[in-house]
Structure formats: structure tokens, C-alpha cells
Amino acid sequence: MSQAETLVTDTATGPARPTPEGAADDSLLLRREGPVATIILNRPERRNALNHAAWTRLGATVTALNADTDLRCIVVRGAGGEAFAAGADISEFEERRHDAASARSYADNMHAALEGLMHSPHSTLAAIEGACVGGGLELALCCDLRLCAEGSRFGIPIARLGHVLPWEGMIPLVQLSSRAVALELLLEGRIFEAEEAYVKGLVNRVVTPEAFEAEVAATTKRLAAAAPLAARAHKLHAARALDPQPLSEAEYASAFAVCDSADYREGVEAFLEKRKPVFRGK
């Protein structure tokens, strides 16, 4: 059994349950269905705001899932349908983020989850319904794709707290949108709707609430069916493409290395035989 499988407490036929290390804390749920793992932020009474414990569990869960070579896709979503995540839980800031040192410690705890998603070898999808603001938007921006339902709301109203967005949130925000959009969000602190988030480049697709679950399922099916070696290479190359430094010979050659894999041979044969390929990550 893989490290990630020891965390899974749900199957395709059963309800999601808390991961074992948090038996007394169900703020985070994990559902596994074949090659797809779904992380559910489960504090609907707080609009799924993430407290320190939830960030810790999220980081540990993502780390374990990243080590699972049988996995193909990680989905992150919120429970209840009214919020993806309404940021970090401000009610604990006086205790855990009361000065520069404690804020740095809190951020280091968050970053295990954010960087784990950003650098995951698996395809990652944020399935957004309702509020996706503050730390919730930071989390979504660290996923490869963001799919949202109409009526979802976005923003980073951190200026209202007199706080500064840490680098792990700033870098993907600027990369996905622009410096101008990032400053608009951070200086104004305005909350805006899904359609504007799409125009700003913060989400990939906006669908009706009625079509949302079907689109999430269809998207994860496509992600899970893709050749994993090619998907991992595309993620690495997309990140490298942002670096203006010239490619080395080894980096240039890496785009062709997958052509020596069994998956590549399977893909070509399946295409010629007019059947669906079965990729094994080898």
C-alpha cells in the first residue's frame, strides 16, 4: 500500500471521511476514486476558511499524494457548495499571526500545501463554487487548472488587514494574470464575480451551476486518462518557459525523451488501431 493510500478513508461508493491522523478533526476530507484523489475543505460553517490545523493537514496530505505513483489527478474543492475557501481563518490571527515572526511561521506552514500543489507531479484541479478569496484564491492559483461555477466570487482583500501577500501567493498571481491585475486585486481589495475572474486569467472555465459537477467529472476523466510522463514533462516545461534564460542542450533534449517510453509506443499503436490507449507511466 502506498503512503497516499494509507490516508484514504473513502471509496467511490462511500461517504468521505477524515484522514486517519485527524480522527478528531474532520476539517479536511480525502476521497479516492481510481487514479483521482479529491481533497475536500470541510469547514462549511466557516465558509471553509483554513485554520492552522487545516493548512498542516493539507500540506501533509498533498505531500503523501505526490508520492503516489498510481495517482493521476488531484482535485481540491470546498464542502457545502457555498464556498471553495473564504481564506485563512482570521479568528486565530491574534494567537498565530500577531507579529512578523509568528506570521512567518504561519506562512511556512501554508507553503507546504501551496508548493506541494504547485510542484505536484500529478495534474491538479481547483473545483470552485462560491467564495474563493484570500488564502482560498492563493490555494486555487497553485493548481494547474481552475474550473468554477457561475456565481463564484473572487478577491484578495488583504489590504483590509494591513497584511502583505507572501511570495508563494504573489508569484502565481502575477504569472497567471499580470502585474496590473495583481496590483488591482491587492490595492483595491475588491470582490468580483466569476466572469471577471475569467477575463483576468484567474480561471480557465466558467460553467453554469447545473453543469458544474458534470464538467468537474469530465475534466478529471480527461486529466486522469492522459499519459502521465507527458503530463509531468508539460508541467515542468511550462514552468521553465517562464524563465528567459536560453535552454541548455539537456533541457532541449528533454522534450523528446518520452519518445523512448512504453507509453509513447502505446499511444501511437492505440491511435493507429483506433482504440483508447492504456498508459502506465513507463
* DSSP state for residue 120 in the 8-state scheme: -
* Mean pLDDT for all residues in the chain: 88
Helix (H) or strand (E) holding 207: strand 205-207
Provide the whole-model pTM.
Answer: 0.87
Q: Residue 181 is part of a domain; what is its CATH number? A: 3.90.226.10
What's the farthest any 2 CA atoms get from each other in the chain?
A: 63
Contact status, residue 198 vs residue 177, Cβ threshold 8 Å: no
Q: By residue range, what is the domain housing residue 247?
A: 228-272
- Tell me, yes or no, whether 151 and 88 share the same domain: yes
Strand partners, 204: none
The residue count for the chain: 282
Question: Cell match 502505446: residue?
Answer: 266
Q: Provide the pairing of β-strand 28-33 with 36-41.
A: antiparallel
Q: Over its length of 282 residues, how does the chain's per-residue pLDDT go in tens digits?
A: 333 333 434 433 334 444 444 444 688 999 999 999 999 999 999 999 998 889 999 999 999 999 999 999 999 999 999 999 998 777 777 667 677 787 787 778 888 899 999 999 999 999 999 999 999 999 999 999 999 999 999 999 988 888 888 888 899 999 999 999 999 999 999 999 999 999 999 999 999 999 999 999 999 999 999 999 999 999 999 998 988 999 999 989 999 999 999 998 989 999 999 999 999 889
- Tell me, yes or no, whether 240 and 191 share the same domain: no
- Tell me, yes or no, whether 73 and 105 share the same domain: yes
- Tell me, yes or no, whether 85 and 179 share the same domain: yes
User: What was the pLDDT predicted at 94?
Assistant: 67
Angle between helices 167-176 and 179-188 in degrees, nearest 10: 130
How many structural domains compose the chain? Answer: 2
Question: Cell match 498533498: residue?
Answer: 62
- Tell me, yes or no, whether 256 and 187 share the same domain: no
